[in-house]
Amino acid sequence: MSDSVLHLSLHAPGATLPAEGRPIEAIAPTRATLAFDGSAVSLAVVLPDLTRAEQRWATDQVVRKVCALAPAERVIVHAGEGIDDDTALTLTLDRRIAVPDTRLEGRPALEARLDTIASSIGTYRRWVDEEPTARTSLAIAADVQAFGAGRDDVEVTVLEEAALEAEGLRLLLAVGGASRISPPRLVIARYLPQDPRPARMLVGKGITFDSGGINVKPYESFVSMMRNDMAGAALAFAIFQTMVEAGADEPLTLVLPTCENPIGEEAMRPGSVVQSHRGLKVRIDHTDAEGRLVLADGLSYATALHPPREVFTFATLTTAALIAYGPYETPVHFATAETERALREASAATGEDLSFFPARLWHREANRDRIADIKNTGQLPSHASRGAGSRNAGHFLRFFTDAPLTHLDIFASTWNWAGDAPGAGPGATGAPLRTLLRAWAGL
């Protein structure tokens, strides 16, 4: 029996649809026709004259509707006249996420890029979607060590509990110290090509499961989905692995503070004051604000040991990122003008939306505390106290390094909260990996 094939033809805005096929409902101004020939389905889509992100979403809505009626085992994408390579690439990647046996016809120059990006997205999504009893801090450390083992240009260091205590990373120990299955680890991998420049540092939050700790998460706080709380580590590793394998010229440093945030008699207590690696005393106001704690120690230790030229932090840091910006957006905090320009251009090409926010004094000061130096629940005064959670949390990180810092809060974009992220089923989406690979590796 032959497999079912979807032929997806993409047409530029304003194009005339093929004569064959019947018009089907699509979200305006998208237009589409559908035709059947045995086990083959032909779907022609005229893209809306909108942003790349909107083109992705609108096209995916049509494809989902068709595949619900006629599931496809293979997809062949045909990019028509007027469809540029960036459009063809990103819309084909969406289909490959949903149906691995997807190819792009007539653009052989894009095949290697498609394969590389798809493989990187696969690594990222696989880590995030894996059961948290398997994707532990030990598994994260082992995977990074295995990657570095066969390469002369990568060196990997893993700090276990005794070393973390000796080096003063007590915030990381406070968060994960009660876990036996996913204990605290700090994983550092350095890619050292011949380029003498200081490295770009990629720091990823690796909370392998977030129960909320003693301030346990209620059901409404997505506790059943908290396997995704290590998505920052997954994103950072996927970028690092892909750029190293591509032979990037620039040096890179990967930093993954990782553990579980457990409940137990040895779990950190609300109200405790813990001295950080940098010497700042931090009051644990809420045990479910743990991500910024592990990032703080990781940032402080790694930037002091291996001074970078710039640092990027990736973290599912706050539900505020979802509440404030919706299910697809990634807020980007503190980017320099040069970094913002590069990421904006890459975002426009890949269709992964970013929003940019500068540093502000009042968000930094919202983290101050009357008992300790700072607390892990930054709040603005009075009626605004519940606002700007992503902004306040990002500013917390700035206390722990003097290096140029760009922070991406990926809580919303990395997970398919609404169920209709382009190409993605339940679980991880793969965002915003494409944008970062485009900006830094030209993919």
Catalytic center residues: 217, 292
Task: State whether residue 331 is helix, strand or coil.
Answer: strand
Q: Where are the alpha helices (DSSP H) in 203-318?
A: 231-245, 291-305
Tell how strand 40-46 and strand 5-11 pair up: parallel
Alpha-carbon distance of 321 to 329, in angstroms, equals: 8
Alpha-carbon distance of 48 to 51, in angstroms, equals: 8
**Residue 38 has which token pair?**
């045995």
**Residue 410 has which token pair?**
């990926």
Q: Are 175 and 238 in contact (CB under 8 A)?
A: no
Q: Where are the alpha helices (DSSP H) in 18-110?
A: 52-69, 85-98
Q: Are 372 and 296 in contact (CB under 8 A)?
A: no
Tell which residue, 255, 170, 263, has the closest CA to residue 209: 263
Alpha-carbon distance of 128 to 135, in angstroms, equals: 8
Please report, as a single letter, which amino acid is at residue 73. Answer: E
Q: Are 410 and 69 in contact (CB under 8 A)?
A: no
Q: Are 198 and 155 in contact (CB under 8 A)?
A: no
- Residue 190 vs residues 116, 150, 201, 235, 436: alpha-carbon distances, Å: 21, 14, 9, 16, 19
Radius of gyration of the chain from its Cα atoms, rounded to whole angstroms: 23
Tell how strand 374-375 and strand 154-159 pair up: unpaired
Tell which residue, 97, 91, 93, 103, has the closest CA to residue 46: 91
Alpha-carbon distance of 380 to 109, in angstroms, equals: 51
Residues in the chain, how many? 443
